[in-house]
Amino acid sequence: MATTGFWPIKGKLKDAIEYAQNPDKTTDPKYLDDDLYKVVRYAGSDEKTDKAMYVDSINCPIKRAYEQMMMTKRRFGKMGGNVAYHGFQSFRTGEVTPAEAHAIGMETARRMWGDEYEIVVTTHLNTDNLHNHMVVNSVSFKTGRKFENHVSDHYRLREISDAVCMEMGKSVLKDAPFYGGKKGAYWIHKNGGLTHRDILKRDIESVLQYSRKPEDFQRRFKALGYQIVRDDRYQHLSIKAPDWKRPIRLDSLGYTKEVINARFETHWQEDYFYIKMNNHPAYKPKQYPLLELEKRLSWEIDHLDDGIVVLIDAIFYIILQLILLTKESPPEQRSQPLSPSIRMEVTKLHQIQNEYTLLADNKIHSAEELFSFVGDISGQIKMLESQRQQYRNLLRRPKPAEVEADLKQKCMDLSTEMKPLRDKLRTANSIVERYPHLQELLKTEHQMEKDALQKERQRGR
């Protein structure tokens, strides 16, 4: 039985890659030539491969794999983007010998990428689970096209690995879910985010630990901004946040009626549970941070969009302030956004800080100004890329050593100049994609706070 996966090699690699436990770790999107060299050297480390007995290559000489891959990139002018892809194939303890593991890895890599890409395959023997690493050039030596890394490719690698294992008389993991069985969730988790299901599971646990009957459970859930959806025909209980397109059934998360009732029963048997429950009452807002921010800024979220101008910087400023208030709020005040979706944005604090900083530093207020900024940055990058390509074209013909060194240095200088521009463009494009969604979230939160404040005033009367 073999498990598989792969991820793009991104950023400046350090001494080692956290490949098995944390394949989603990424850094800067500018990939340097020495990154590829380091990962090829790492994958073929003698300490892990029994003095290189199980190091092989496909479509390139093993001793010059790095140089061959870089030659392919230079030949097609594809030096940017992902340096390579790092695949793994891990076997159950004791199921394969090192030779068998290596043979399976070679055949899997050959069927998956061998028609078009240079590959280094190594078998590591330094853990109980023998495992293969596959370092695949991101640029095809045949066509010059870059590997696109679709979710379907991850399925295909699993299928090829299973087929090779079965041909060699090894077991396979039948009907195993692919990264949790959710394509979209895979990419969200890969970028360090949370899905609706993630935050719902977290909130279910926070509610269950202080509930001992259905009424407690539902009251606490409503206090967190959710809506209870009943299906009398099928006896399913589902939960929905105001901005979600569809509800999520609790039993699809493992919380069946039997599981929930068992938790209730445990709490009934627990001595003094009511003290713990009363010490953690259902959430009631003691502050209304969004309404207070609007009051301080002298306008409301509903006025963000006047039909012509969307104040994009205001959207990101307010989201950032809400997140900071949530993080810095004293426990006794328990200040938090009422909308589950805005609570999800708390995990993106660093991203939102970068986005707002870009808007503030460049005095971008409206969508029109943002689109103009994206166009300007894109134009600068294209101009620098064109200039760099001219130098690279000159390098294709033999030159005196000092001339060649000068041309290479000019290419490196242009690459260095492009890096901050690419960072800005990436952040700006993220803002373009996200601001309509964030604007709707703020409108939802605004209405929820107004409703909660109205209920509080009615209780006071």
The answer on pLDDT for 181 being more than 90 is no
CA distance linking residue 89 with residue 1, whole number of Å: 10
* pLDDT tens digits for range 362-395: 999 888 888 899 999 999 999 999 999 999 898 8
Q: Which stretch of DSSP H or E encloses residue 450? A: helix 401-460
- End-to-end, the C-alpha distance of the chain in Å comes to 67
Query: Which is higher by pLDDT, 267 or 452?
Result: 267
* pLDDT tens digits for range 397-436: 888 989 989 999 999 999 999 999 999 999 999 888 888 8
Of 197, 367, 210, residue with least CA distance to 282 = 210
> Which whole number is the average pLDDT over 118-136?
82
pLDDT for position 58: 93
Of 49, 189, 35, residue with least CA distance to 133 = 49
- Helix 65-76 to helix 33-43 angle, to the nearest 10 degrees? 150
CA distance linking residue 420 with residue 401, whole number of Å: 30
Q: Domains along the chain? A: 2-190 (3.30.930.30), 193-283 (no CATH), 327-460 (no CATH)
Residues listed for the chain: 461
The answer on pLDDT for 330 being more than 90 is no
DSSP 111-179: HHHTTT--EEEEEE-SSSS-EEEEEEESB-TTT-PBP---HHHHHHHHHHHHHHHHHTT----TT--SG
* pLDDT tens digits for range 168-180: 888 776 544 444 4
Confidence of residue 307 (pLDDT cuts 50, 70, 90): very low
* pLDDT tens digits for range 223-247: 888 888 876 554 678 888 887 878 8
Strand, coil or helix: what is 96?
Answer: coil
pTM for this entry = 0.51
Query: Which is higher by pLDDT, 173 or 339?
Result: 339
CA distance linking residue 268 with residue 273, whole number of Å: 7
Q: Among residues of the chain, what percentage have pLDDT more than 90?
A: 17
The answer on pLDDT for 161 being more than 50 is yes
Confidence of residue 113 (pLDDT cuts 50, 70, 90): very high
Answer for the pair 283, 220: CB distance below 8 angstroms, yes or no. yes
| Alpha-helix residue ranges (DSSP H) falling in 270-364 | 273-279, 289-297, 312-328, 340-345, 349-361
Confidence of residue 326 (pLDDT cuts 50, 70, 90): low
Measured CA distances, 242 to 272, 342, 401, 444 (Å) = 35, 11, 66, 7
Answer for the pair 436, 337: CB distance below 8 angstroms, yes or no. no
The answer on pLDDT for 345 being more than 80 is no
> Which whole number is the average pLDDT over 73-79?
85
